């Protein structure tokens, strides 16, 4: 996983451009309404989405790729970037008022997805908020490659993706207070000039 992402950031730089996701604008509004002060961003990449949060909140971001971290520390000088895996985030670390996690969850098999959510929820203060996005089962790449678990496909050697239906997403977060789920489309233009529209789902909720 680490090598794959290091190669991509090394070759493609700011892979998804400079604009933040519309979901982070929505999350920022919701977090501000709820008096959030501190945020954790797992799988932050080069800080495309942390930058708009760190002008208002105190942001810690954890990212596995050294190449991404190097870009991020230049791109967003206000967030604090931790190099490492979200799975290694120690329970003794501090807790946050909110977590924003863009397109990390679908990169894992079921056991790890549940562990990822548990780790994140453990690092929320009581009543803390979360906002996650992930691939939707309505995305055009659903079904591409070998199905290794239900709705999880190995679409490149060693690279898997899970595609969420709304019910599936709700089941993943059943230990939390789910406030809202929805769909969102994101369009990216890549460095080779190809354009791709992704169908995502988001879930917004709260630690019980
Ligand atoms: C699809 S990208 C999304 C990047 C970023 N959220 C954005 O929107 O620009 C997934 C990111 O998660 C990082 N990542 C993958 N596994 C991780 C892990 N176990 N812990 C922390 N980051 C991870 C990758 O290096 C990559 O930057």
Closest ligand 1 atom to Cα of 116: 19
Q: Which strands form 152-156's sheet, in the order they lie side by side?
A: 146-149, 152-156, 159-162
Residue of minimum CA distance from atom 11 in ligand 1: 43
* 157 CA from centroid of ligand 1 (Å): 18
CATH architecture, range 2-206: 3-Layer(aba) Sandwich (3.40)
pLDDT for residue 185: 98
pLDDT tens across the length of the chain (208 residues): 899 999 999 999 999 999 999 999 999 999 999 999 999 999 999 999 999 999 999 999 999 999 999 999 999 999 999 999 999 987 667 899 999 999 999 999 999 999 999 999 999 999 999 999 999 999 999 999 999 999 999 998 889 999 999 999 999 999 999 999 999 999 998 888 899 999 999 999 999 9
Closest ligand 1 atom to Cα of 85: 20
pLDDT for residue 18: 93
pLDDT tens column, 112-137: 999 999 999 999 999 999 999 999 99
β pairing state of 124-135 and 146-149 = unpaired
pLDDT for residue 90: 75
What are the CA-CA distances from residue 159 to residues 156, 162, 195 (Å)? 5, 10, 21
How far apart, in whole angstroms, are the C-alpha atoms of residue 112 and residue 129?
A: 21
Tokens 């969850």 belong to residue: 105
Domain boundaries, the chain: 2-206
Closest ligand 1 atom to Cα of 41: 6
User: pTM for this structure?
Assistant: 0.97
* 81 CA from centroid of ligand 1 (Å): 12
How far apart, in whole angstroms, are the C-alpha atoms of residue 185 and residue 95?
A: 31
pLDDT tens column, 27-49: 999 999 999 999 999 999 999 99
Which structure tokens are listed for 95? 């807790």
Helix (H, G, I), strand (E, B) or coil at 100: strand
pLDDT for residue 1: 85
How far apart, in whole angstroms, are the C-alpha atoms of residue 96 and residue 74?
A: 24
> Which candidate, 154, 153, 151, 173, places its Cα nearest to that of 164?
151
Q: How far is CA 7 from the centre of its chain?
A: 19
CA Rg value for the chain: 16
Q: 82 CB less than 6 Å from ligand 1? A: no
């Amino acid at each position: 996983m680490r090598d794959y992402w290091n190669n991509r950031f090394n070759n493609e730089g700011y892979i998804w451009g400079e604009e933040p996701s519309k979901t982070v604008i929505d999350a920022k509004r919701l977090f501000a309404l709820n008096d959030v002060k501190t945020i954790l961003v797992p799988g932050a990449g080069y800080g495309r989405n942390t930058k708009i949060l760190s002008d208002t909140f105190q942001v810690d971001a954890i990212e596995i790729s050294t190449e991404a971290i190097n870009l991020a520390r230049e791109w967003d000088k206000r967030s604090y970037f931790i190099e490492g895996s979200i799975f290694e985030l120690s329970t003794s670390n501090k807790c946050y008022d909110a977590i924003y996690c863009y397109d990390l969850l679908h990169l894992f098999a079921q056991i790890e997805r549940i562990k990822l959510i548990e780790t994140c929820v453990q690092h929320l203060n009581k009543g803390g908020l979360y906002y996650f996005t992930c691939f939707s089962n309505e995305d055009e790449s659903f079904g591409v490659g070998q199905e290794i678990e239900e709705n999880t496909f190995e679409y490149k050697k060693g690279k898997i993706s899970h595609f969420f239906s709304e019910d599936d997403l709700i089941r993943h977060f059943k230990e939390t207070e789910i406030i809202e789920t929805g769909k969102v489309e994101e369009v990216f233009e890549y460095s080779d000039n190809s354009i791709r529209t992704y169908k995502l789902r988001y879930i917004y909720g709260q630690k019980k």
